[in-house]
Every structure is written in C-alpha cells, then in structure tokens.
C-alpha cells in the first residue's frame, strides 16, 4: 500500500483550517485514505473529527496511506497540504 511520511509544518499542527483543507482534499479521493502518527492506529483521513482526535502538533510526523488507482497522486497532494517530507 503506498504511503507518505510527512512532517507537519503548520504552526497549529493539523487542526482547524489545515485539517479542514486536508479532509476536503481526501474526500475527493475515490479510495479510502488513512492517516496516523507512527505507532498509533490509522484513522479515516476523510473524517475531520478523527483527524482532530489525533492531536497532530507542528513538527510531528504522520503517515498517510491510500490504495487504489491514483493513490500516489492523492498521497502527493495530501502530503503537500500536511507538510514536508
């Protein structure tokens, strides 16, 4: 399953506006998309509540995964929204 490891760069982490932007982009994907902190269970990247519950802070790493046709393009877009590789 393709994945991207990303360091979140937003001052507020993956909260409020950055999370909403991330969820909107993930929701457009025709496949399931997951996000997780290393060592934790992945959550649905299309759910704002689940992403907010991850409590991702600035400079923390997350792993974004997707599987299916076009997964790499979706992951590249989401990685660009969340932070830097």
Note if 15 is an active site residue: yes
CA distance 25 to 4: 15
CA distance 24 to 40: 23
CA distance 73 to 10: 22
Please pick, among 4, 10, 14, 15, the residue that the annotation labels catalytic: 15
Give the active site residues.
Answer: 15
């Amino acid at each position: 399953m393709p994945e991207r490891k990303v360091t979140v760069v937003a001052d507020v982490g993956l909260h409020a506006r950055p999370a909403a932007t991330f969820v909107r982009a993930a929701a457009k994907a025709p496949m399931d998309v997951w996000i997780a902190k290393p060592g934790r269970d992945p959550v649905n990247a299309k759910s704002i509540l689940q992403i907010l519950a991850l409590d991702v802070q600035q400079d923390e790493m997350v792993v974004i995964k997707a599987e299916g046709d076009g997964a790499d393009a979706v992951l590249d877009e989401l990685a660009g929204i969340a932070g830097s590789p």
